[in-house]
């Protein structure tokens, strides 16, 4: 059991038979009345967001989400195949179980497969990946205004904005959580 006063971002717990994850929390102490905890929660199975207020002493059961490292193998129609590196067992997952940030994962990459009580509900890609830029317009010489960006297509097919000095064929580092360009790969 965990009390609402101990909530932090990323904590998972059960609420009304659903597994919820704290996305945002705020401890509020109004001038009048009792303190409370305002939260924004994400249902880890369905992905739905909800806002809820708790008393700081209210207790909820902790939900243990298993994060298992697996290797992304390949895509076949709408199924994505992952392999357990210890048992070599392969599991197929439907496209609807994958978040939008999965577009930055290439084949043979190690990811974390998320499950709760044996039911797989999502895939967590690495926070940072290095991908090759396969298509982008050439930068215009002399156009050096601050933060000028242009669209680029990566080797996985994902589209992002990159600085104008990046050219096709270069390998860049990307933050998969925000989908933003970080730097050229070393």
142 in the same domain as 108: no
First-residue to last-residue Cα distance in the chain: 45
Q: Which domain holds residue 17?
A: 2-60
Q: How far is CA 110 from the centre of its chain?
A: 14
Count of domains for the chain: 3
37 in the same domain as 21: yes
133 in the same domain as 96: no
Task: Give the number of residues written for the chain.
Answer: 186
The pLDDT value given to residue 95: 84
52 in the same domain as 24: yes
The CA distance from 162 to 87, in Å, is 40
Domain boundary among 124, 150, 169: 124
Angle (nearest 5°) at CA 99 between 152 and 102: 45
The CA distance from 179 to 150, in Å, is 14
9 in the same domain as 30: yes
The CA distance from 91 to 85, in Å, is 12
pTM of the model: 0.71
Handedness of CA 125, 131, 136, 139 (dihedral sign): positive
pLDDT tens string, the chain, 186 residues long: the values are 888 888 888 788 998 888 888 888 999 898 888 899 999 998 887 778 899 999 989 999 998 888 899 999 998 888 999 999 899 999 998 887 787 888 899 999 999 988 888 888 788 889 899 999 999 988 766 656 667 888 999 999 999 999 888 889 999 999 988 888 999 887
Domain boundary among 124, 142, 170: 124
> Where residue 41 sits, what CATH number does that domain have?
2.30.30.30
Q: What does the CA dihedral 46, 49, 53, 59 come to, rounded to 10 degrees?
A: 30
The pLDDT value given to residue 143: 59
The CA distance from 51 to 40, in Å, is 4
44 in the same domain as 22: yes
> Where residue 112 sits, what CATH number does that domain have?
2.40.50.140
Domain boundary among 75, 95, 124: 124
The CA distance from 97 to 35, in Å, is 37
The pLDDT value given to residue 144: 60
Angle (nearest 5°) at CA 113 between 78 and 129: 85
């Amino acid at each position: 059991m965990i009390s609402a006063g101990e909530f932090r971002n990323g904590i998972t717990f059960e609420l009304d038979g659903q597994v919820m994850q704290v996305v945002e929390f705020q401890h509020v102490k109004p001038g009048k009345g009792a303190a409370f905890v305002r939260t924004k929660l994400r249902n880890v199975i369905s992905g739905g967001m909800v806002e809820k207020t708790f008393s700081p002493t209210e207790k909820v059961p902790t939900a243990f989400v298993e994060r298992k490292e697996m290797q992304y193998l390949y895509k076949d129609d709408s199924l994505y195949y992952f392999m357990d590196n210890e048992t070599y067992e392969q599991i197929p997952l439907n496209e609807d179980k994958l978040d939008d940030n999965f577009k930055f994962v290439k084949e043979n990459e190690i990811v974390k497969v998320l499950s709760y009580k044996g039911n797989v509900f999502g895939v967590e890609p690495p926070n940072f990946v290095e991908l090759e830029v396969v298509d982008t317009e050439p930068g215009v010489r002399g156009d050096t205004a601050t933060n000028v960006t242009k669209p680029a297509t990566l080797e996985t097919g994902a589209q992002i904005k990159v600085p104008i000095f990046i050219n096709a064929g270069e390998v860049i580092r990307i933050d998969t959580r925000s989908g933003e360009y970080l730097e050229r790969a070393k």
